[in-house]
Amino acid sequence: MRTILFILRKEFLQIFRNKAMIPIIFFMPVFQLLILSNAATYEIKNIRFSVVDLDQSRFSRELVSKFTSTGYFILTENSFSVSEAEEGFRKNTSKLVLNIPQDFEKNYRKNGKAELQAVINAEDGSAAGIIYNYTSNIIQQFASGVVTEWTGLPEAEKSPVINISYSNWFNPELDYKTYMVPGILVALVSMVGVFLSGMNIVKEKEIGTIEQLNVTPIKKGQFIIGKLMPFWIIGIFELAFGMTLGFFIFSVPMLGSPFLILIVAGIYLLVILGMGLFISTFTNTQQQAMFIAWFFFVIFMLMGGIFTPIESMPDWAQTMTLFNPIAHFSRAMRMIMLKGSGLQDILKTLYILGAYAVVMLTFAVIRYRKVEG
Amino acid sequence: MYIVEVKNITKNFKDTVAVDDISFEVGQGELFGLIGPDGAGKTTLFRMLTTLLKPMSGYAKVLGFDIVKDYKKIRKHVGYMPGRFSLYQDLSVEENLKFFATIFGTTIEENYDLIKDIYILLEPFKKRKAGKLSGGMKQKLALCCALIHKPDVLFLDEPTTGVDPVSRNEFWEMLRKLKEQGITILVSTPYMDEASLCDRVALMQKGKTLSIDTPENIISRFKKPLFAISSENQYSLMQNLLAYENRDTIYPFGDFLHYTDKRENVSTDEIMKYIESLNCKKITVKSIKPNIEDCFMALMEEN
């Protein structure tokens, strides 16, 4: 037991002597929260678009001003040729071309029907989807507004429409920060766990200190605990620090118990640290360890539901998330922070993470050996 | 009881035989040298004796404990100084020493007597990071760390490689003092001239031992008269002597060529005469006593 303390003391001495460590621990969470939570959002503003208005009527001008008045669209070009307007796609000066044909207003008044074309640059599929939604919403609103104005009747009477009223639970304003901050905290804790721990052990191999250490009475278990515990402590500290920042600076709700989050994180960190240890058993340099850790980290991150909803993935990918510790942790984290879920609600997640931790650590400990064949 | 007992030990790395059927014993308080060039198998042998590597066949005992079965007991009682500097470069001299003392369950103060002579030289730098020390200082620190738990036997893998001649002499002086305190020491080195500083040596080449004996005995077994020859143009002299029908062996040794003749009782004058016939200038020929390196070369030739 005392030996572990001695190793821990040595590890902390080295960790805090490392010039890169303090900035990583204190500035990384601040920067990540500040930048990512503000930048990683699905809201698109300032969509540049061009208009080909062949109608030149009151209707067409009103429609265009409807777009510009939303604040989401910026009109960059007015032209009379479709190909000229589409040139803007290639130059990347516009994302949307609105083609208003001749007799747009006339047809509408005569037949109550009119056509127009919206061409969207779909290089970025998800952005295109969002632009499409905005566009069709605006046109719909415009159409119903026109109806009211021209017929003098309330729109509900003109055509039977089912009005859907929305209500967004747990994040009523659909604030992306509320959604992103828990995810970013998960990423933060994972990075500390996978990278720092794995690299730390491999460093002993790379520099050769493991040779000296292996010819001492230090037991395998003591060494592993002494190596992993500092990063477990740093990870937990990092999360607590990040949650405090999120709560006070980003006003992210904390409906559940922060201690429950720390308990989940404690188990989750065991999984991640086990992974780091496992990687360190079959790599000899920090570079190798870094690449392998990145490989897993990127897959786990992108498929873990932090940035894209798991529900939008294909079935096979959704099944795979069952084995993705990041997915379990980020789900539990959002449940507790945003919905106020209690221990009972996340018990299943805890079991899964716990089982994962046992498997991962057992694997890693078996593979780690002091004597070579 | 022998402190170290090695019996027919063999270790392969895939197709290469690193240590090939080696046996020897080291007694209490001996300073035993493993001498041989790079790739002779010295480090592999040390790593097996310090329980970092398992042998393929044969066995070895350190302090009476089997290196495979009782490795845990061995680790408590041996000091190991790997060839490569293996201390924490980002920790200070004092912190390194303290760390190794504590994990062996002891303190610097408890065994200060043993390291005093060495540590005194390091004391002025005790707050300095180990990575910032000079080569000689690093080596002294490594020795201190290997000694801090008062081991019964020390394994020093090429401790003097890459260290300046003054520090090398100092280091051997330290080893001599440690030996006086009853510590058994196994040391490996590629420098033949260090052999005479050991009580007994094992000359090693390509995983095999060529000879195991005291340096004096090894040298006394070199029976042939040995000559040191030099002239103005060493290269052409060497070429000529290589072509000489009476030549037995010839090796360049610094400024001289070490030469043995096939004829028995050949005199300095006879050799001198032959070389003069080659139109060489400024010739010196003298009869010399063989050193360990001459013996090593001769033994290599025999094998």
Domains delineated in chain A: 2-40+173-367 (no CATH), 47-158 (3.40.1710.10)
Confidence of residue A156 (pLDDT cuts 50, 70, 90): very low
Residue A39 has pLDDT above 80, yes or no: no
A266, amino acid identity = G
The pLDDT of residue A160: 43
Strand (E) or helix (H) holding B83: none
Chain B positions in Cβ-Cβ contact with residue A7 (cut-off 8 Å): 103
Domain end point (choices B219, B241, B256): B219
Instruction: Indicate whether B25 and B118 sit together in one domain.
Output: yes
Is the pLDDT at A26 greater than 60? The verdict is yes
**Domain that includes residue B233, residue range:** 222-302
State whether B201 and B89 are in the same domain: yes
> Under a CB-based contact definition with an 8 Å cutoff, are residues B65 and B73 in contact?
yes
Q: Are residues B237 and B107 in the same domain?
A: no
Chain B interface mutation, best of A2, A205, A216, A372, highest count of B Cβ atoms under 10 Å: A216
Strands annotated E in chain A: 47-53, 73-79, 96-100, 117-120
Nearest to A334 by CA among A169, A127, A108, A158: A169
Instruction: State the first-to-last Cα distance of chain A, in angstroms, to the nearest integer.
Output: 29
Considering the domain architecture, whether residues B240 and B214 belong to the same structural domain is answered as no
CA A15 to chain B, closest CA, distance in angstroms equals: 10
**Nearest-angstrom CA–CA distance, B114 and B107:** 12
User: What is the rounded distance in angstroms from the CA atom of residue A278 to the CA atom of residue A285?
Assistant: 14
The SS3 of residue B230 is strand
Same domain, B148 and B258: no
Task: Report the pLDDT value the prediction gives residue A1, as an integer from 0 to 100.
Answer: 75
What does the alpha-carbon distance between residue A251 and residue B237 come to, in Å, rounded to a whole number?
90
* Range with top average pLDDT, A101-110, A117-126, B31-40, B160-169: B31-40
| B193, B283: one domain | no
Instruction: Check if the beta carbon of residue A4 is closer than 8 Å to that of residue A226.
Output: yes
For residues A13-40, average pLDDT: 81
Q: Parallel, antiparallel, or unpaired: how do β-strands B184-189 and B200-205 relate?
A: unpaired
Cβ pairs A/B, distance under 8 A? 71
- Residue of B46, B84, B86 to mutate, testing the A interface (most A Cβ within 10 Å of its Cβ): B86
Q: Are strands A96-100 and A117-120 parallel, antiparallel or unpaired?
A: antiparallel
B55 φ, ψ (degrees, to nearest 5): -75, 160
* Interchain CB distance below 8 Å, B82 and A14: no
**Cα A164 from chain centroid?**
29
Residue B116 belongs to a domain with what CATH number? 3.40.50.300
Q: Determine which helix (DSSP H) or strand (DSSP E) holds A107, and give its type and residue range.
A: helix A104-111
Could you report the per-residue pLDDT of A354-368, keeping only the tens digit for each? 999 999 989 888 888
Question: Any idea which residue has 């050193």 for tokens?
Answer: B291
ipTM, 2 dp: 0.79
Q: Are residues B170 and B280 in the same domain?
A: no
Inter-chain CB proximity A217 and B75 less than 8 Å: yes
How many structural domains compose chain B? 2
pLDDT tens-digit series, residues B109-142: 998 888 888 899 889 999 999 999 988 889 899 9
Domain C-terminal end among B219, B235, B254: B219
pLDDT at residue B145 tops 90:
yes
* Residue of B88, B107, B138, B148 to mutate, testing the A interface (most A Cβ within 10 Å of its Cβ): B88
Asked if B212 and B228 sit in the same domain, the reply is no
The CATH code of the domain that includes B237 is 3.30.70
Contacts of A217 in chain B (CB under 8 A): 72, 75-76, 103-105
Burial of residue A9 (CB within 10 Å: 0-12, 13-18, 19+) is middle
Task: State pLDDT tens for residues A273-323.
Answer: 999 989 988 888 889 999 999 999 999 988 888 777 788 788 888 888 888
Query: In the prediction, which pLDDT does B154 show?
Result: 95
Is it the case that residue A40 has pLDDT exceeding 70? no
For residue A372, give the DSSP letter.
B
CA distance B179 to B160: 17
pTM: 0.77
Q: How confident is the model at residue B155 (pLDDT cuts 50, 70, 90)?
A: very high
DSSP β-bridge partners for residue A10: none
CA dihedral of residues A197, A198, A199, A200 (deg, nearest 10):
50
Helix (H, G, I), strand (E, B) or coil at A222: helix
Pick from A14, A18, A372: which is nearest to B53 by CB? Answer: A372
The pLDDT, as a whole number, for residue A153 is: 54
- pLDDT for the residue B283: 83
How far apart are alpha carbons B229 and B250 in whole angstroms?
10
Last residue of a domain, one of B219, B244, B259: B219
Secondary structure class of A240 (helix, strand, coil): helix
